[in-house]
Amino acid sequence: MADAVPDSRLVGDRSLRVGVIGAGMAGILAVIKLREAGITDIVCFEKADRVGGTWRENTYPGIGCDVPSHVYSYSFAPNPDFTRMFSPGHEIQAYLERVAVDHGVVPHLRLGDEVVSAIYDRGVWHLETARGHRADFDVVIAASGVLHHPRMPEIDGVDEFEGAMFHSARWDQDVPIDGRRVGVIGTGSTAVQITGALVDRVEHFSLFQRTPQWIMPMDNKLFSDDQRATFRNEPHRLRELRDFLESAFAENFADAVVDAKSERLEQIEDTCRANLYQHVTDPELRRRLEPDYRAACKRLVVSADFYDAIQKPNAELVTAAISRIERRGIRTDTGRLHELDVIVLATGFEVDRFMRPTVITGLDGRTLEEAWADGPTAYLSVSIPEFPNLFMLNGPNGPVGNFSLIQVAELQMDYILQLVRRLQAGLSTEIHATEAAMREHEARRIEAAQATVWVTGCNSWYLDARGVPAAWPWPFRRFREVMAEPDLDAYHH
């Protein structure tokens, strides 16, 4: 390994200006870690009016995290007051807002000002925002996330519906739901959570399913007042719980999905099938709910109440294809019109956008759109060749899906800081991955992806335009290992 990364105790006096794009969980983390590294000239740009990212954007009924709460939290800011094993969305949003206040993030925020352009020129990134603000930075960290550009379905007649219609990530809180006829298009995690939350509130609930999902049972136990008091008064007990959950999560799921032949993956599938057969008694409904692909081929859905909810007398699973949306509801290809008052589009996100539509221009005028013409790529999901001193958190081809993205981002941020320290110490002026390292990493990643469950016969948002999983295809421990210290031979520096 060439040129060791400098120890933080040996860092020189160069003052760096750092711009952070996005104030979701990764942007909050970036500001905190930069401050800990002694960098205080930081501006964190956020297009919305407050922090929180996906937990700010998504306010639909039933929203919750499908990663255990104490794993989906910062290692340096444990939260003893989570009420459940899998927290509701409003608790996570409140937690992120509290961390931002407690760890000095707020003074660095520039809210309601989206970055529209970032141009690199002779060692400096020139950023411009939608409100016309311009600022120069030595380093830019893109923490814009993955799940923030709603994907709208291409269905004829969407403009004809006379009721209320909105994407699940743009929930209209002014639209009454109780006692009305509600239709939800989609069957991913969001649609499943909405089903459980709304079925007892509405007159009739219609779930329009294109593809059935495997449902992993969830034991979403409530933490008692005494348990939460113990976590507050004996912090080591909370650390022990987090360590246990983190280890179990990695060993029992994260490592299983990257080996399609693993025994643990078979156990996951057996658990999902038993969940279906134990809870759904009608053989015809069971047939329509049972996938024909392997469990975890799509992002695994976790739920404690979906099967019970979809069997309620006022609930209907619609598996006929949608033909069009009309003035009074949704018509399927059977000719039937499902009359509705509200239509919810739980149709996911454009997962290949990342920091786009921001126009990002690197060396020699090369734009990110040009660099990503064949799809988003980044070396170790962190660095893009020819875009110096630009680093990504939760970038392309990293661990996604049923992982704690907070845990992923912490590992990446520690890695990035080792590169930033070179800039602080004056050992480097420009750092970005080499094309050769990028090509070699991509070749290994694509080869390894062929052994994962994601290529076993389903269509999922994990797959890119080539049908290659856009995800980390190795065990999570390998991600930890490569994030421990940058291989400087892979970088121009």
pLDDT, tens digit, for every residue of 358-411? 999 999 999 999 999 988 999 999 999 999 999 999 999 988 766 789 999 999
Instruction: Say which residue the tokens 């069957």 belong to.
Output: 187
Token code pair at residue 492: 């121009």
**Contact at 8 Å (CB) between 228 and 81?**
yes
The DSSP-derived string for 166-186 is: EEGGG--TTS--TTSEEEEE-
pLDDT of residue 147: 75
Residue 109 lies in a domain: yes
Amino acid occupying residue 6: P
Please say whether the beta carbons of 216 and 301 come within 8 A: yes
Q: Cα(first)–Cα(last) distance of the chain, in Å?
A: 13
Domain shared by 360 and 475, yes or no: yes
CA gap 111, 109 in Å, rounded: 6
**Residue 379: beta bridge partners?**
383
204 and 323 in a single domain? The answer is yes
* Measured distance CA(344)–CA(186) in Å, rounded: 9
425's CB contacts (< 8 A; 6+ apart) are 6, 10, 11, 12, 14
DSSP-based three-state secondary structure for 310 = helix
Report d(CA 209, CA 287) in Å as an integer. 13
pLDDT of residue 249: 79
Are 46 and 17 within 8 A, CB to CB? no
Is residue 172 one of the residues assigned to a domain? yes
CA atoms within 13 A on the CB side of 182: 28
Are 143 and 275 in a shared domain? no
CA 452 to CA 459: how far, in whole Å?
14
Whether 392 and 279 share a structural domain: no
Q: Confirm whether 233 is domain-assigned.
A: no
Pair (181, 287) in one structural domain: yes
Q: Which residues contact 219 (CB under 8 A, 6 or more apart)?
A: 85, 304
- Determine whether 472 is exposed, middle or buried from the number of CB atoms within 10 Å of its CB (0-12, 13-18, 19+): buried
CB 183 within 8 A of CB 330: yes
Distance separating alpha carbons of residues 302 and 67, to the nearest angstrom: 9
Tell me the pairing of strands 359-361 and 115-121: parallel
Same-domain check for residues 22 and 103: yes
Token representation of residue 246: 């983190």
154: in domain: no
Q: Can you tell me the distance from the alpha carbon of 62 to that of 280, in angstroms, rounded to the nearest whole number?
A: 21
Q: Which two tokens stand for residue 330?
A: 């949704």
Q: Is the dihedral of CA 52, 54, 58, 64 positive or negative?
A: negative
Residues 208 and 274 in one domain: yes
Of the three residues 327, 345, 363, the one that is the final residue of a domain is 345
Residue 335 belongs to what domain range? 164-220+242-345
Supply the CATH number for residue 481's domain: 3.50.50.60
Tell whether 38 is covered by a domain: yes
* 454 and 488 inside one domain: yes
Q: Which residues of the chain have pLDDT under 50?
A: 1-2, 4-11
In a domain, 226, yes or no: no
* Helical segments of 122-210, H only: 189-198
Residue 231 lies in a domain: no
Give the tokens for residue 202. 């509405």
Instruction: With residue 456 as reference, give the H or E element that holds it.
Output: none
Residue 366's region, left for phi above 0, alpha for psi from -120 to 50, else beta, is: beta
Phi, psi (degrees; rounded to nearest 5) at 340? -140, 155
Q: What are the distances in angstroms from CA 257 to CA 99, 191, 455?
A: 32, 23, 11
H or E segment and range at residue 443: helix 435-449
Note whether 315 and 211 are same-domain residues. yes
What local confidence, expressed as pLDDT, does residue 5 receive?
47
Count the domains in the chain.
2
Question: Which of residues 330, 345, 360 is at a domain's end?
Answer: 345
DSSP 8-state code for residue 7? P
Judge residue 373's burial from the number of C-beta atoms within 10 Å of its C-beta, 0-12 exposed, 13-18 middle, 19 or more buried: exposed
Q: Is residue 108 part of a domain?
A: yes
**Edge-to-edge strands, sheet with 124-129:** 134-137, 124-129, 115-121, 359-361
Separation between Cα atoms, residue 83 and residue 74, nearest integer Å: 17
Q: Provide the H-helix boundaries in 254-383.
A: 255-257, 263-279, 283-289, 306-310, 368-371
Boundary-marking domain end, from 293, 313, 345: 345
**340 and 357, same structural domain?**
no
- Same-domain pairing of 379 and 302: no
Strands (E), 322-373: 322-326, 329-332, 337-339, 342-345, 359-361
Per-residue pLDDT, 8: 40
Rg (CA), the chain: 23
- pLDDT, residue 10, reads 41
Distant-in-sequence contacts of 262-266, Cβ < 8 A, 24+ apart = 265/294, 265/295, 265/296, 265/453
Both 187 and 304 in a single domain?
yes
pLDDT at 9: 39
